[in-house]
Amino acid sequence: MTVTPEFRFRRLRRTSTLRSLVRQHHISTDDLILPLFVEEDISAPVAIPSMPGVVRYPESQLAEVVQRAWSKGIKAVLLFGVSTHKDNVGSDTWDENGLMARCIRSAKQAQPEMVVISDNCFCEYTDHGHCGVLCEGSHEGLDVDNDPTLANLQKQAVVAAQAGVDMIAPSTMIDGMVAAIREALDEAGYSHIPVMSYSTKFASAFYGPFRDAVDSTFKGTRATYQMDPANSREALAESMLDEIEGADILMVKPGIAYLDVIAAIRANSERPLAVYHVSGEYAMIKAAANAGVIDEQAIVMETMMAFKRAGCDLIITYYAEQIADWLNN
């Protein structure tokens, strides 16, 4: 006897049109945030060998790049400065004429409607490459002094707001960073500026190519302030605490190896949730595509869909412009 199922799932998979009608998640350019690296004192883009297709742009070309991204439907950029004025605390970031402030002004002037987000950290601006003020005495070597770093983050965030930034994105993983930034912005009259916190950022091996991208001098480990990849309950707690402190958007970084963390945060928070598809994830896809062993576009879009399916609203990815081209075509 043949048993006929009452419901056949394949009925709604029969044609591409049927499949599109019942598709549960979608990717659009509204989901994408494009990271941009801007370097001082260069006159032409500098290729990043470990990240094929990604470059460090000169300041003189930032406006053009922002306009190009906008023309493709990308509505947000995340700015990283590659400074030639480094010191042991990253003071260039709270100079109103420093690289961070100049990049923000340039991007906003180029396309006033573009959402310009500043990555608020110090690793690209310190001569030691760590994410804040150093303290000595850790048995593992150099460590970041939490509270002096908070004070510097406050100064940095206010300068970014004065320059016209649309959103602050603190990535230091310093305890209390969201509350400190929120306090500083509110007291300076910028209560309307949102904070997208790198609320759950792991001490990950997936960041390797990023150090090439920002010409980092970093040595040692960030394990004393970034999260242990083994700790999923702590990962949830980190984001929930940032929500309490006033984060408007939460974020998980990296992405593909932490879909369980994304799903857990989504199950416990109604705040918008972002994911950072990081340099190592990008580089691995590029390497496999260049070796001819995968379909690059198919893999990228499947990866983006995994982020959306896990619960993300926003995706920061170096593939943003390529994804926009694929969607537009």
Which domains does the chain show, CATH number per domain? Answer: 27-328 (3.20.20.70)
* Catalytic residue, candidates 86, 108, 253, 286: 253
Query: Is the pLDDT score of 129 beyond 90?
Result: no
Mean pLDDT score of the chain? 93
Is 253 considered catalytic here? yes
Q: Is 320 helix (H, G, I), strand (E, B) or coil?
A: helix
At 223 the pLDDT is: 85
At 3-24, the pLDDT tens digits run 777 889 999 999 999 999 999 9
| Nearest-angstrom CA–CA distance, 31 and 25 | 12
At 222 the pLDDT is: 84
Is 201 considered catalytic here? yes
| Nearest-angstrom CA–CA distance, 109 and 87 | 29
At 70-124, the pLDDT tens digits run 999 999 999 999 999 999 999 999 999 999 999 999 999 999 999 999 999 988 8
At 140 the pLDDT is: 52
Mean pLDDT across 196-201: 98
* Catalytic residue, candidates 201, 219, 286, 308: 201
DSSP 71-140: HTT--EEEEEEE-S--BSS-GGGG-TTSHHHHHHHHHHHH-TTSEEEEEE-STTTBSS--SS-EEEEETT
Dig out the tokens for 184 from the structure.
């500083």
